[in-house]
Amino acid sequence: MSKILGNSLSEGLYDLLRSKVPTAIVATVSDESPNTTPVHLMLAKDKNTLLMAMARQHTGTANIQNNGKVMICVCEEGDINVSIKGEATVVKEHMDCNKAMCVVKVKVQEIKDDSTHSETTCGIRYRCRTEKGESFIKSIFAELEDYH
């Protein structure tokens, strides 16, 4: 049975989700089946709020618009294994830096420890394929940082 850690990010988890390094798996709910999406364009705004940039036409975004329930799984170096249950809302339909992207705000409801008998030594990593991709990611994170 998983241990409930609370309803706000710990200092360490907050710092991790401010670092712009982790890729988390975001699970959403639809009428027909669950959907998972790897998201690396995510930032902790405060200890109770996450911001994510998602493609407007993505299935996960549609699911959030229809049913805001999400579970965000973070497995990261340092043996961090948590799931963040939250209520998600699309709060900006078109990002200024890229009209195909939207801003999703997640209100943290509960955090549970998903540790197992194995130690997590590394998380999911991505690498930009092009300079254009690098510029895209920088502009997304800059806009998430400035979102109020």
Q: Using the predicted structure, report yes or no on whether residue 1 has a pLDDT greater than 70.
A: no
Q: Using the predicted structure, report yes or no on whether residue 109 has a pLDDT greater than 80.
A: yes
Tell me the three state secondary structure of residue 79: coil
Tell me the three state secondary structure of residue 67: coil
Q: Hunting for tokens 């930032």 — which residue is that?
A: 43
Check residue 48 and give its pLDDT.
Answer: 98
5-27 average pLDDT score: 96
Rounded to the nearest 10°, the torsion over CA 6, 8, 11, 13 is: 90
Q: Using the predicted structure, report yes or no on whether residue 55 has a pLDDT greater than 90.
A: yes
8 Å CB contact between 40 and 133: no
Share of the chain above pLDDT 90, in %: 86
122-127 average pLDDT score: 89
8 Å CB contact between 79 and 113: no
Q: What is the mean pLDDT of the chain?
A: 95
Q: Using the predicted structure, report yes or no on whether residue 148 has a pLDDT greater than 90.
A: no
pLDDT tens digits, 60-100: 999 999 999 999 999 999 999 999 999 999 999 999 999 99
Hey, what CATH topology would domain 3-146 get? Answer: Pnp Oxidase; Chain A (2.30.110)
Q: Using the predicted structure, report yes or no on whether residue 22 has a pLDDT greater than 90.
A: yes
Label residue 31 by pLDDT band (50, 70, 90).
confident
8 Å CB contact between 83 and 112: yes
97-116 average pLDDT score: 96
Q: 89, 85, 91, 110: which is closest to 24 by C-alpha?
A: 85
